Amino acid sequence: MVHRLRQYPQLAVRLGGSYLAYRKMMRLAAGEGSTLALYPDAVLGIGQATAKWFPYRQTPFFLTAGGGYTWHPELNFRLEADNKLTFGGLEMTPEDVGTVTASLRWNRLLGYAGFGYGRAIPRRRIGLSIELGCYYLGAPRVNLDYEGFLETTTLRDEMVKVQKNMTNYRYLPSLQFLISYALPTR
C-alpha cells in the first residue's frame, strides 16, 4: 500500500519559476517617410508555489492552485521620433514631438489556478506534464508621461478613461510544459 501511495499521490506541492524578457528597440513607420523609435521594457519574472490535487487515482489528471510573486510587475514603453514627422502637411522636428513614456503596473502578489495532465512522480526517472492555468494580476495602474507636442493636447484629461478601459486586463494565461525527475530511492 505504501508503494502504491508513492506511485499515485493525491496531493503534490511544487515550486517553480518563469522568466521572459523583451527589450529590443523597434522602428515604426509614422507616415510619409517618418519613423518612430519604440523602446519596450517588457520583463515577466514569476516565482510560484502551487499545490496539485489528483482527484482520480487511476488517471494523471490534476487541478492546481497557488500563488506567485513577481519582482518586475510592469510593462514600460518609451516612444521617440527618429526624424522629422510629417502628417498631412504638418511637419515637426524630433524635439517638437518629444518623448512619450507609458507604463502598466500590476500587483506583485499573484493568484493562480489551473489544470493539467501528468504524474507528480514519474514511472521512470523523467516525466512530462502539461498544465494550462491563469494568473490573477489585479487591475493595472496606468501611467503616462510626455513632453513636447502632446503637452498641448487634452490627453491628461483622458487618462481616467484609459485607466477604466484597462481594468479588464487582470489575467495572464499560462501554458506550462513540466519536466519532473524521480530521485533514486536506493
Q: 8-37 pLDDT, tens per residue?
A: 568 888 888 888 899 999 988 877 778 888
pLDDT above 90: residue 125 = no
The pLDDT of residue 151? 67
- CA separation for the pair 136, 139 (Å, rounded): 9
Q: Which residues pair with 59 in a beta bridge?
A: none
Q: Residue 169 has what DSSP assignment? A: -
pLDDT above 90: residue 69 = yes
62: Cα separation from own chain's centroid: 24
What is the mean pLDDT of the segment spanning 139-157? Answer: 77
The pLDDT of residue 159? 78
Structure-block grid coordinates of residue 158: 483622458
Look at 8-17, 38-47, 138-147 and tell me which has the smallest mean pLDDT: 8-17
pLDDT above 50: residue 96 = yes
The pLDDT of residue 2? 38
Alpha-carbon distances of 6 from 10, 12, 175, 182, rounded to whole Å: 9, 11, 27, 11
Cα distance between the two ends of the chain: 19
pLDDT tier, 102 (very low <50, low <70, confident <90, very high otherwise): confident
Q: Give me the domains of the chain, ranges plus CATH numbers.
A: 2-181 (2.40.160)
